[in-house]
Amino acid sequence: MCGRYIIISGRKIFATFELMRSLNDKNIPYLTVPRYNAAPMQKLPIVVKRQGGLQTLEAQWWIIPHWSKTGKPDPAFPSFNARADRIATSKLFAPYFKARRCLVPVDGFYEWKKGEGKERYPMCIRMKDESPFMLGGVYSVWKDAEEQEHPSFSIITTEPNELMMPIHNRMPVIIPADSFEAWLDPSNNDTDALTALLVPYPADKMKAYPVSRYVNNTRNEGEQCLQPVSEEA
């Protein structure tokens, strides 16, 4: 599961990934971040390739299928995550996996580790050098009666790596930079090769540390969300 993440600096993401440098600043909605506690149902930046070129879209984190009659999420079916082991056969996600894949720029994500009894406490997971990275996702574009577009997306999750195993039984898929082009190409329908990317990211490149329960509330924002604390705090 991936239910919360961090995106600190759009400009840093723009500078880090060569893929992004062809974009015009005016078309980059993530320049308005930081977001230290991004949560499902919020509008967040994604990177896609459509209409012949690379674009960034401000999209709702909870995929709404293009065929929806209401354009509203179904609370009985939380579609902000898509499981890697089911995505190629899922009635909802399979069409988007074949032709509408996206990258989700992040600086880290949160997961809740089980403590004593039923208690859980939040952990922040980042790259060891705290560089930004890209999660693998799928997206949809629902159109209202006026033909106005409403993009939405889901983050793909996979099995945990060695770092994540003590924390949670799922982790988001992280797409390596050398696979960005293949991942975003809507004409690439080689689902076997794409599925091969849906694997745990190398644990030795990542770190995890406990953070304050302040992050538990999605209304809370700011650098306090990702500051390290002791596991007893």
Ordered mean pLDDT values, 10 residues apiece, the chain (233 residues): 91 83 64 88 93 89 93 87 96 95 97 86 97 97 94 98 96 97 95 96 98 96 94 56
On whether residue 64 sits in a domain, the answer given is yes
Tell me, what's the pLDDT at 126?
98
Tell me, what's the pLDDT at 29?
66
- How many domains in the chain? 1
Determine the Cα–Cα distance for residues 60 and 22; give it in Å rounded to an integer.
24
Q: What is the pTM of this model?
A: 0.94
Dihedral, CA of residue 206, residue 125, residue 230 and residue 216, to nearest 10? 180
On whether residue 231 sits in a domain, the answer given is no
Query: What DSSP character marks residue 140?
Result: E
Tell me, what's the pLDDT at 96?
97
Tokens of 18: 């060569």
CATH number of the domain that 211 lies in? 3.90.1680.10
On whether residue 94 sits in a domain, the answer given is yes
On whether residue 95 sits in a domain, the answer given is yes
On whether residue 13 sits in a domain, the answer given is yes
Strands (E), the chain: 5-7, 35-38, 43-50, 53-61, 81-83, 101-106, 108-114, 120-127, 133-143, 149-158, 171-172, 206-210
Catalytic site residues? 2, 111
The residue segments making up the domain with residue 20 are 5-226
Determine the Cα–Cα distance for residues 212 and 130; give it in Å rounded to an integer.
19
Tell me, what's the pLDDT at 118?
79
Tell me, what's the pLDDT at 211?
97
